[in-house]
Amino acid sequence: ILLEKSIRENVYRSFIRTNPASAVSLLILQQYAGNEINFNEIDSLFNQLSPAVKAYPSALGFRERIAIAKRTSIGQMATDFTQNDTLGNPVSLYSLRGKYLLVDFWASWCGPCRAENPNVVNAFHKYRSRGFSVLGVSLDRAKDAWLKAIHDDNLTWTHVSDLQWWNNAVAKLYGIQSIPQNLLLDPTGKIIGKNLRGQELHQKLEEVLGN
């Protein structure tokens, strides 16, 4: 299956490079990019498209997604934002600098998010004394469901949401089109990890925080 995927991706890349003036190349590139854009590769392929194809309305929207992918790529400084916590108090991302921070995009209605929550809880309790914390950004729209999930899953860190579902302003700022997703920031606010789940999260925290 992995070999088939690799062959298919090679065909996609080859078609785009040899047919830069074709609208089909744009469609293939958008499909190839998926929900989590690899900025370096996708930007390079997009730049090979002809000026006419780049001017399509769908291409302009895709260009914005690529720009967001650049802003949120590893090594970039995370863009600041402010959103209200469960008590209605504004919390800014930059106010939480000074620790390794997992910005966790989730929702009460998201099954995979809820399945991953115990792992995040375990990491939080294991590493918080060494300078690790979590900021939950919820794509909920019902406050009661949001609060119940926080309580039921024992998520004892800071949570924010504007209760706007997929129109959550922070999710749109960070180009979130599927959840769960997360970003790991260092104490200065630099992105040092993305979509670390399961054991990968623990391995990365051991790497940066030591034993």
pLDDT tens-digit readout, 174-196: 999 899 999 999 999 999 999 99
For the chain, what percent of residues have pLDDT higher than 70?
A: 98
* 129 Cβ neighbours under 8 A, 6+ residues apart: none
What is the Cα–Cα distance from 63 to 49, expressed in whole angstroms? 12
> What is the C-alpha to C-alpha distance for residues 33 and 39, in angstroms, rounded to an integer?
9
CB 191 within 8 A of CB 68: no
How far apart (Å, rounded) are the C-alpha atoms in residues 121 and 111? 16
Residue that wins the pLDDT comparison between 107 and 65: 107
Element (H, E) at 8: helix 2-18
Distance CA 137, CA 202 (A): 20
Could you tell me the pTM of the whole model?
A: 0.83
- Are 202 and 123 contacting, i.e. CB atoms less than 8 angstroms apart? yes
Joined together, the tokens standing for residue 151 give: 């309580």
| pLDDT at residue 3 is higher than 90 | no
CB burial of 36-67 (b: ≥16 within 10 Å; e: otherwise) equals ebebeebbebbebbeeebbeeeebeebeebbe
